[in-house]
Amino acid sequence: MSNMNLKLARVKQRKSQYVLSFETGIPQSTLSLIEQGFRQPKPEEIKKITKALDSKVNELFPDSEVAIASTC
């Protein structure tokens, strides 16, 4: 399952994967795999990505176990 919300939020802020990689310390290749749904982000990666995009977990990763746990 892809993380289209992540890609949409990133593109809306006119950030490339390269820029988001720089801001989060997460390799660009990892961000690409996360966006394509080939890799699930780790909780610490989710935290870095949501901070860099100034978004909430459930907005970017609505199906993530971390998102579900954060709403409880």
Domains assigned to the chain: 4-70 (1.10.260.40)
Give whole-number Cα distances, 53 to 50, 69, 72, in Å. 5, 20, 23
DSSP assignment of 23-72 equals HH---HHHHHHHHHTSSPPPHHHHHHHHHHTT--HHHH-TT-HHHHHHT-
Question: Could you read off the pLDDT of 12-69 as tens digits, one per residue?
Answer: 999 999 999 999 999 999 999 999 999 999 999 999 999 999 999 988 888 766 554 5
Which H helix or E strand runs over 7? helix 4-12
